Amino acid sequence: MKRHYGWVIVAVGALMGCIGMGSLFSLAVLLDPIAADTGWSRAGISATMTIAFLAMGVGGFGWGWVSDRHGPRVVGIAGGLLLGTGLVLASRATSLLVFQLAYGLFLGTAVGAFFAPMMATASAWFDRQRAIAVSLVSAGLGMAPVTVAPFAQWLLSGHDWRTSQLVIGCVAWAVLLPAALLLRRPPATTPGASTPASAAGKDFTAREALGSRQFVVLAATFFACCLAHAGPIFHVVSYAMVCGLSAVAAVSVYSLQGLAGLGGRLLLGVLADRHGAKPVLIGGLLLQALAIGAFLPTSSLGEFYAVATTFGLAYGGVMPLYAVLARDYFGPRIMGTVFGAATMVSCLGMAAGPAVGGWIFDRFGSYAGMHLSSLAIGLGAVAIALSFPPLPRMRPERLRPA
């Protein structure tokens, strides 16, 4: 039983990511009712997501450090408490500032506990099939648009936005807190078995790892990747409508893009287990950049479906591979800290991409500049990834029951 418990960790991590990210992005469903009821500006409500992404980045780093030292269970419980609390407080907010702080800071910090630490924990449970395990945890994030968002829409059909948000918060508590009790530290490695870092002759401390060339390249690639795709993801509905598609058709493009991202996580995870994370990441980044560029001549619904499918497969597929590479370079002991720090850097790109894309459209009346700049940044991510140092050669790592 113990030798297979890693798959329980994978399931719990995927569930937490789904509930956490789905609750965060339920704001897109609640946006119109909130604006109509309160009179708050859409820009002000939307700015909550920028706060959330920044909090998610900082939180991911902090939670990764806590997970390395105290285990994932305390992180999962704290994240579940924060998520529900943020939703409940935001549902009672009487001013935009209180809403932004309750929703943005609490939910962003909570989701930070479910992303980097859970992926780091899952990677530490596996020697073989590590990439597919991490990809399955990441796939939970891809399920968010088809689970929590429809649930929020169903709640709105019979309740106001405050009651709907309150219910989502209570459900989050009811699901996440019991699930967090299933989290465990990975079993210790057999004495004498080498980790990637020790096999290379270097047992990194967290401070040394964060100053290493491996980490700089990892974080820079992660940042450029997220900065490249954040704008096109966020603005795809608006861009499709600018190109003449109806609102319903434009939303269907966004949904298909999200589903393709779910499939991409699984496909690239399998390929990474067979061929290594580094070459698969480079190939995925190149495909992502080319897909971004393919949006420029796209106009018909069929063309949008084709490009969105390719784009979703690429950006969804590469995301889990950063955790795999962090594990390969630095081993499991400081994995949470290292991947949390890389995630914090990447969140700066995620926070900037939508805002920059909106500024370009407001300034020039077109999304062409956004796609061209995203294409250039995406190709830059490929160039940075090509500078990854060689992975350490190591003996197979054997796990024993704790």
Domain boundary residue, one of 151, 185, 219: 185
**294 close to 348: Cβ distance less than 8 angstroms:** no
Q: What is the pLDDT of residues 96-146, one digit of tens each?
A: 999 999 999 999 999 999 988 898 888 888 877 888 888 888 888 778 767
Residues 95 and 57 in one domain: yes
For residue 10, what pLDDT is reported? Answer: 92
Task: Collapse the DSSP code of 399 into the 3-class scheme (helix H, G, I; strand E, B; otherwise coil) and give the result.
Answer: strand
Q: Is residue 399 part of a domain?
A: no
- Check whether residue 356 and residue 220 sit in a common domain: yes
Owning domain of residue 221: 206-388
Q: Which of residues 130, 150, 185 is at a domain's end?
A: 185
pLDDT score at 396: 45
Q: Quick one: three-class SS letters along 292-311?
A: HHHCCCCCCHHHHHHHHHHH
Number of domains in the chain: 2
325 and 367 inside one domain: yes
pLDDT at 122 (0 to 100): 87
Q: Where are the alpha helices (DSSP H) in 72-160?
A: 72-91, 96-99, 108-114, 116-124, 130-143, 148-156
227 and 173 both lie in a single domain: no
Residues 253-280: tens digit of each pLDDT: 877 888 898 889 889 988 988 888 999 9
- 46 belongs to a structural domain: yes
Which candidate, 268, 282, 283, places its Cα nearest to that of 132?
268
Quick one: 96 and 173 in the same domain? Answer: yes
Same domain, 240 and 103: no
In the chain, helix, strand, coil percent, each to 5?
A: 80, 0, 20
Instruction: Confirm whether 196 is domain-assigned.
Output: no
Note whether 217 and 316 are same-domain residues. yes
112 plus 226 within the same structural domain: no
Model pTM score: 0.77
Let me know whether 216 and 152 are in one domain.
Answer: no
Q: Looking at this protein, which amino acid is placed at residue 20?
A: G
The CA distance from 85 to 91, in Å, is 10
**Are 13 and 140 members of one domain?**
yes
Alpha-carbon distance of 236 to 203, in angstroms, equals 44
Residue 195: CB atoms within 10 Å: 20
Is residue 372 within 8 A of residue 75, CB to CB? The reply is no
Residue 52 amino acid letter: A
pLDDT given for residue 191 in this prediction: 39
Together in a domain, 269 and 375: yes
- Give the pLDDT of residue 111: 93
Tell me, yes or no, whether 251 lies in a domain. yes
Instruction: Report the CATH number at residue 174.
Output: 1.20.1250.20
Cα 318 to its chain centre, rounded Å, is 11
The tally of CA atoms less than 13 A away on the side-chain side of residue 35 is 12
Domain shared by 48 and 154, yes or no: yes
What CA dihedral angle connects 71, 76, 78 and 80, to 10 degrees?
A: 180
* Cβ count near 322 (within 10 Å): 25
Domain boundary among 185, 218, 237: 185
Which residues in the chain come in under a pLDDT of 70? Answer: 1-3, 145, 188-202, 392-402
β partners of residue 20? none
Cα distance between residue 351 and residue 223, in whole Å: 11
pLDDT at 202: 57
364 in a domain, yes or no? yes
* pLDDT of amino acid 198: 47
| 200 backbone dihedrals φ, ψ, rounded to 5° | -85, 5
Residue 281 lies in a domain: yes
- Is 1 a member of any domain? yes
Q: Closest by alpha carbon to 72, among 209, 242, 186?
A: 186
E strand or H helix at 364, and its extent? helix 335-364
Beta bridge partners of 189: 399
Q: Is the residue at 167 inside a domain?
A: yes
